[in-house]
Structure 1
Amino acid sequence: MRILIPITNFGHGGGARVLSRLASAWTAAGHPTDFLVDARSPLPYFPTDAGIRRFDSNGLVDGPPPEGAAFASSGNALSIYRGMHRGLNAIGGSYDVILANHSLTAWPVRFASTGAARKFYYVQAYEPEMFQLDPGWKSAVLRHFSEWSYRLALTQIANSPIYVDHASIRARTWIPPGLDVSVFHRRSTMPSFRQDDSPVVIGTIGRSEATKGTIHVIEAFERLHAMNPRFRLRVAFGNLPEGWSHPGLEVVVPRGDDQLAAYYRSVDILAAPGTVQLGACHYPVLEAMASGTPVVTTGYLPASPENSWLVPVRDSEAVAKAILDVVATPEAVLARRLDLAHAAVQRFSWEQVSQDFLQQFAAAPAPR
């Protein structure tokens, strides 16, 4: 089958990464896949083997990018979605599957005339909740558009169980984001805390959004380092509070998945205490678990009390106590938890995830 993925631009976020990898996996499996993207968008940040077809505001597909034009979604929404709709009208009928993947792309996908193409909507987050975090009339409008998008006549697939029949979402099944298990492989030896004077390196992915919980990791680290200077903090990508520094801090900037996987294997404990949409998939949790690193989290898939250390949201003291518990865990018990974590991530391989999608695509009825 031929698959088309309409997007506004090639972004840097986890959702864009998922689409790039899925498109490559489907192409490799003999299902040619193309992105349909605004002509002004840069090349993919996450490499993909899929084809790239571009539209302009008039819907012209595969035309040259406008000279000197810089892409910015702000202020260009009307031209983007008008062009996407017209582009879908032009080429959508030559595909078997069209996959919307964001609340705003769902609208042109739903109302474009695309013949017998089956239309799907991959719900990667409950977007109204994210828009609700920002005040102002624009966010209010976007929140309503995203809420209404779940009522469109598209076959929905959620990316985690918490979004199945959640609020206005009508997904009846879920397929998680994937993981390259050959890159995010288990470390050769598990962390050891037997020597009381050896460093304990706490890792976290630095994010500026308050919902990601970086500040709670920082506060937990400050508490632990004050108790015992053996505790260190290694933050990937920075994004720390302005002006904050610490002698026990190290900032690293992994480039690409190979270096990111090496980062997870370089820390003794990974803390990911996000505050929203608990029970959803969260790449730092998934990747650290696959890498054989103990995880302290507020409860993101696939973490559980059996394979990780779960803490309440916005509770720096609980994060610190959980880290101390990891350090005090007997080696045999720690090894068992890490075994369970490794087993939990196996269903997230790209091979399995891409096949799950293909089965859903094949099973859906053709439009009437």
Structure 2
Amino acid sequence: MKILIPLIGTFGKSGGYRVLSQLANHFIDKGHDVTFLSYIGSEGAYFPTYAKILYYDNSGNVSDHSDNKKKEPFLSLFILRRALRKALDQLDADVVLANHSFTASPVKKSIIKAKKFYYVQAYEPEYFYHKNFKDFILKTISRKSYQLGLNIIVNASMYQDYKEIKTHRVVFPGLDLSIFKPSFKNKDNSKIILGTIGRVEAYKGTFYIVEAFKELRKLYGEKIELHVAFGEKHLEEIEGITVIAPDGDNELANYYNSLNIYISAGTVQLEAIHYPVIEAMACKIQVITTGYYPSNKDNSWIIPIKDAYAISEVVQEALTDPDKVKKVERGYMDIKEFDWEYIAEKMLKYFKE
């Protein structure tokens, strides 16, 4: 099959782009032809892929080389959606895989002769939560994307019947278990290292983790530290916090393996799959979370949303829990279903329906 994966704008560093790169690589390993269609200003894929990359400009012209001097235009979303649709019109494929709410309409409106699928990696309208005109428009576009009649595949069971989304197709995001695996290096037992992925968006819950850490620092003193991956540098003004910037998956796996406990305090779509949760579980690290799949009381420690006090209390509980080794082992077994080989094959079966 010839599989085309269009992007609005360029490649990013978030987990969703890793999923696309890995899917492309595994599709190619299985004998399929895969091409990304990216904006011409792209510097290429952050997560390595050996798929072909084509580029479109503001007018929808397609070329096989990028131009880093090209910047996304003013009112870029509307111009890029029109340009992407025009670019798709010029190409051929057996399958086109929309992968973001802003790519859905260009894929739907394109005259390209291909099966049109839409891989939903989150319910995006809930991410536009600011009470301003811009977020109102973006939220409206996102909501409508699920009602365009594309063949929807969701990345978590919770989205099969979630608000505007209706589908029977589910393909989890995969995990490279050759990279995200336990390290057998001895840890410094004189320190308790907590970790989280730092994000500015309120729904990610970083604020509550930081507030909880301030209280834990009062209890444990210099023995406890919080290492925030990809966090904002100003967080280091708080005593005991270090901001880490892992470069690539190998360094990210090393980061998880340096921790005693990983904390995920997101506040929305709690039954979805959150990469840091499964990555930490794969590294046999204790996980405290608000409930992201596959976390449960048997493989992790569950906290309520927006509750710094609860985070502080559960950290203390997790550190002394006599069943913590058993829970960590259970989590390690529960992430086996995310193996990329199985994930890619399931997606291909949907393409062949």
TM-score range, shorter chain: over 0.9
Q: Give the total of aligned pairs.
A: 351
Taking a change above 3 Å as real, the CA distance of residues 302 and 54 of structure 1, as seen in their structure-2 partners, is: same
The 8 Å contact of residues 42 and 67 in structure 2, kept in 1 or not, is answered as no
Alignment gaps of 5+ in structure 2: none
- Tell me, in whole angstroms, the C-alpha distance in 1 between the residues paired with 2:314 and 2:233: 22
Instruction: Indicate yes or no: 2:159 matched with 1:170.
Output: no
Instruction: Find the residue that maps to 1:221 and give its secondary structure.
Output: helix
- Shift, 1:281, TM fit: 0.9
The 8 Å contact of residues 235 and 242 in structure 2, kept in 1 or not, is answered as no
Aligned to 2:198: 206
- Shift, 1:173, TM fit: 2.2
The 8 Å contact of residues 206 and 240 in structure 1, kept in 2 or not, is answered as no
Instruction: Indicate yes or no: 2:141 matched with 1:145.
Output: yes
Aligned to 1:345: 335
Question: What is the correspondence of 1:270-309 to structure 2 with a 5 Å cutoff?
Answer: 270-309=262-301
Aligned to 2:248: 256
Q: Give the percent of matched residue pairs that are identical in Structure 1 and Structure 2.
A: 39
Alignment gaps of 5+ in structure 1: 364-368
Length-normalised TM-score, structure 2: 0.94
The 8 Å contact of residues 187 and 258 in structure 2, kept in 1 or not, is answered as no
Instruction: Indicate yes or no: 2:167 matched with 1:158.
Output: no
Bigger drift between 304-313 and 59-68 goes to: 59-68
- Tell me, in whole angstroms, the C-alpha distance in 2 between the residues paired with 1:242 and 1:263: 18
The 8 Å contact of residues 27 and 33 in structure 1, kept in 2 or not, is answered as yes
Deviations 1:319-359 (A, max 9, x none): 111111111112xx222111210111111122111111011
- Shift, 1:3, TM fit: 0.4
Aligned to 1:366: none
Aligned to 1:228: 220
> Structure 1 counterpart of 2:99, which letter?
N
Q: Which runs of 4+ in 1 moved over 4 A?
A: 63-67, 189-193, 240-243
Instruction: Indicate yes or no: 2:120 matched with 1:123.
Output: yes
Q: CA RMSD, aligned part only?
A: 1.9
Question: What is the correspondence of 1:15-26 to structure 2 with a 5 Å cutoff?
Answer: 15-26=16-27
> Structure 2 counterpart of 1:84, which letter?
L
Bigger drift between 351-360 and 182-191 goes to: 182-191
- Tell me, in whole angstroms, the C-alpha distance in 2 between the residues paired with 1:240 and 1:159: 32
- Tell me, in whole angstroms, the C-alpha distance in 1 between the residues paired with 2:219 and 2:127: 37
Aligned to 2:32: 31
- Shift, 1:241, TM fit: 5.5
- Tell me, in whole angstroms, the C-alpha distance in 2 between the residues paired with 1:254 and 1:155: 36
- Shift, 1:40, TM fit: 2.2
The 8 Å contact of residues 297 and 310 in structure 1, kept in 2 or not, is answered as yes
